[in-house]
Each structure stands twice: as C-alpha cells, then as structure tokens.
Amino acid sequence: MSLRINDTAPDFTAETTHGTIHFHDWLGDSWGVLFSHPKDFTPVCTTELGALAKLQPDFEKRNVKVVGLSVDPISDHNAWLDDIADVSGMRPEYPIVADTELAVAKAYNMLPANEGDSFSGRTAVDNQTVRSVFIIGPDKKIKLSLTYPMATGRNFAELLRVIDSIQMTGKHKVATPADWKKKVMMLLLFLRFPMMKQKNCFLMAGK
C-alpha cells in the first residue's frame, strides 16, 4: 500500500549507528527527515550524506531530526562514515539505520513486499527505489515524500525551503508561491472560497 501525504509515518525499531531507536519515540515532538540510500559507498549517496552533515545545524534550528537509512549493516555504515568524511570534509553526526532485513524499506513502500528479507547479495540496482525522502511532522504524519533516481543527487537546501513553508503554512492560513524563499520573497495569503462568497487576497512579507 502506497503512503500519501497526511498518512501516519510507519513506526519501526531498528539498529542504527547511534544504537537502537524506536522511531516515533526518537522523534518525540520534533519534525523528522528520513532519507534512504540503496547501498553504502555509492558515489552520489556519499556526497549527499556529506552535504546533509554540513546542513545539520540548519535542520536543528528548525527542530528537525535527521536520520539516514541504507540496507547495509552497521559495520559497513561505520566504514562508510569515514569515507564520507574523506570526501566531504564532514562526518555525519545523525544516525543511519541498518535496514538489513529490508523491513523499513518495505514499510515505507520503497521496496515491494515480496522482495525478500535480507540485504545479502543485493546490489544498488536491486535497491534503486530506496532513494526516497520523507518529511514527517511532530504529529507523525507524512508532510512530503520524494523519490530520486540514483544518478541525481538530492538538493537539501530545497528540503529546508520546503520545511520552512510547511511549518509556516501549518501555523497560519497562508500559501507560499512558486520559488518562495524565507525572508526573500513575498508570502501569498489566500483566503478565497467562492462557495462561501468570500474574496480576500493580499500579500504580506515572509518572516
């Protein structure tokens, strides 16, 4: 069954580079970004984990916890962290899930249910659909999901932009227009419901 916006993010218990986490408990009252990778040591993913490590303070300022996921074991993850530090100059400090039984990938509909239950023998191509990003709110609801092809690196600055928009539009009756950026562009406030015979549309500065 596919996951949609406003569905409850599947809870899970998993081993990570920071020890065992119970996902919903680990999130607590924070927002979350869960982003997945088809295989450790793949070149595009290596640059992505390094890029996100550099931006982690920006996510923390927004009360967002970050967790990565790959189907490989903890021992591979730990070796990969050293490689990421060599390539990017920054060692990730967020946890990375070792989804060796493919359970989380299946729960989040990144792999079909009949795909087996072990990472062993699987290649990056076998796991190429494990390239998703989920933004999850404090209410444990999915606010955004994106899936990227293996050859295209993710833009984490765009995720920050989206989080800014989702957090603001969740608090106020507003909508952000195309290419909106916090503190740069204008915020579009839309209150227009033809069925209620209301028309009230104006602009205010983004905060």
Tokens 């609801």, located at residue: 141
CB atoms within 10 A of CB 15: 17
Residues whose CB falls within 8 Å of the CB of residue 199, separated by 6 or more in sequence, listed in order: 192
Q: Which two tokens stand for residue 12?
A: 């899970």
The active-site residue, picked from 45, 72, 76, 99, is 45
Residues β-bridged to residue 37: 70
Tokens 């800014």, located at residue: 164
201 is catalytic: no
The active-site residue, picked from 7, 40, 139, 201, is 139
Specify the pairing of strand 132-136 against strand 31-37: antiparallel
Query: Can you tell me the distance from the alpha carbon of 68 to that of 93, in angstroms, rounded to the nearest whole number?
Result: 11
C-alpha dihedral sign at 40, 44, 48, 51: positive
Active site residues: 45, 139
